[in-house]
Copies of this chain bind each other. A is one copy, B any other.
Amino acid sequence: MKNITTIILAAGESNRILSKRSKIFHDISDRSLIDHVYSLAEKISSKDIVVVCNKKNYLFLNKKFKGAKIVIQKKINGTAEAVISADKNISKKNDVLILYGDVPLVKQSSIKRLIKNFYFSKKIGSLLVFNSENPLGYGRVEIENNCIKKITEEIQADRETKKISICNSGIMICNSKFLFDNINKISNNNLKKEKYLTDLFEIAYKRRNAFGYSFCSEKELLGVNNREDLIKVDLTMQEEIKKRLINKGVTILQPDTVRVSYDTKIGRDSIIEPFVVIKKGVTISKNVTIKSHSVIEGCFVGEDSSVGPSARIRPNSKISKNVKIGNYVEIKNSFIGESSSISHLSYIGDSFIGKKVNIGAGTITCNYDGKKKNKTIIKDNVFVGSNTSLIAPLTIGKNSNIGAGSVITKNVPPNTLAIERSKQNNLLIKPKK
């Protein structure tokens, strides 16, 4: 079995996205289109990837995908020209898989089926196709004896051809030598004066060396041309991810009102309430409840813990088992020990909190002094009274108590009550009328 080089075509000008940035840099489910496609390419080709881009994105992509070869498509006139730009970077001993930087939903399993079809059928290549109930706009695939006879673009299709429901995804695998030997034969003798890669199939068929094909669902092949597409593709991925989690034993209530991330992991019997946002890098253990209006990112949440409603956990945080994070609480870059509780209106940043610690309402770790971030360490069994300011760097020893409303600036030894407070004065005032 030969190696597979993956070419990612990503040179499109993408004006229709109406953005400063090229469309391939827009996110769906917390990862850019190009990252989704690149990640798939890596699973097939490891580092043997060629990204064909436009001039504007060359330097950025070169830096971003260090292992890959980045090439600029010189003439922006069709997919064939884009593939030609990659020619020099591809070993003619390999096979070539072609993916698209703006088609991010295609599944690894569909590509593996395509590759299998290619190898087992021993054809010169194989194309990923799909059945569409409404094929308007897609290239129609004519099949004959399990081979692709021809692909006709909508614009050039006659009435009979328009009835075909099998459509071209553009994604294909092909013998590399055949590809580059024949791609130059593709002409731009068509309405748009572009060189279409799709002409290759007829060339192959006429040389009695036709392509095979493999099916996948239309949904996986949604492409992004404008913002509406971007939002639709994002929504489609969201549905996929949530369905997968639900089928593993997670209760996601009113799932259309929950947001997850491409890499979200959630354990069995956990409950995700409506209006929760899970951003990237989150692992949630078993039997956890994430309550409504919470936003969590880049963190681990341990078994039997509950978060929210309206809590925010920011990156680099670890919430241990049986912890309670309550409403209007923000946790940032912190460790929270087992069975601790931070239930109301608090900010805990750059902190280490031990076990069985109770943090009162309105507690704030003053971690930033205007220049740098400092660490707060709160040891096991500490009770921090409400409305307390903890000026970092600060360590509070085991079993200590902090009086409510205190500003704590100096370390507190173990078994100590620390308090900062003046005398309360009660002055008679004139009764209100």
User: Chain A interface (Cβ within 8 Å of chain B)?
Assistant: 17-21, 26, 226-228, 230-231, 234-235, 238, 243, 246-257, 259, 268-269, 273-275, 277, 287, 291-293, 295, 309-310, 312, 326-328, 330, 344-347, 358, 360-362, 364, 366, 368, 370, 381, 383, 385-387, 389, 391, 399-401, 403-410, 412-432
Contact = CB atoms under 8 A, between A and B. Distances in A.
Nearest to A380: B432
Contacts of A419: 424-425, 427
A277 B249 contact: no
B418 A424 contact: yes
B255 A231 contact: yes
A404 B389 CA distance: 7
Given A362-B362, A362-B387, 4 more contacts: A228-B247, A293-B293, A295-B327, A399-B431
Given A254-B238, A293-B310, A366-B386, A345 B344 contact: no
A309 B277 contact: yes
Contacts of A249: 17-19, 227
22 contacts: A19-B269, A20-B287, A227-B247, A230-B251, A231-B253, A231-B255, A257-B275, A273-B277, A275-B293, A292-B295, A295-B310, A310-B328, A345-B346, A366-B387, A391-B404, A399-B431, A405-B407, A410-B426, A417-B426, A418-B427, A419-B424, A420-B423
A420 B409 contact: no
A415 B399 contact: no
B420 A424 contact: yes
Given A251-B227, A287-B20, A426 B412 contact: yes
A347 B345 contact: yes
How many chain copies does the complex carry?
3
Nearest to A413: B426
A18 B399 CA distance: 41
A353 to B, nearest CB: 16
A264 B204 CA distance: 54
A333 to B, nearest CB: 13
Given A249-B19, A292-B259, A424 B404 contact: no
Contacts of A228: 243, 246-247
Contact of A416 (B235, B403, B428): B428
A22 to B, nearest CB: 12
Of the candidates A238, A252, A364, A425, the one having the most CB atoms from chain B within 10 angstroms of its own CB is A364
Contacts of A274: 257, 259, 275, 277
Contacts of A250: 227
A417 B429 contact: yes
Nearest to A429: B417
A275 B273 contact: no
Contacts of A429: 399-401, 415-417
Contacts of A427: 416-419
Contacts of A344: 330, 347, 364
Given A254-B238, A420-B421, A389 B370 contact: no
A416 B425 CA distance: 10
Contacts of A432: 381, 399, 415
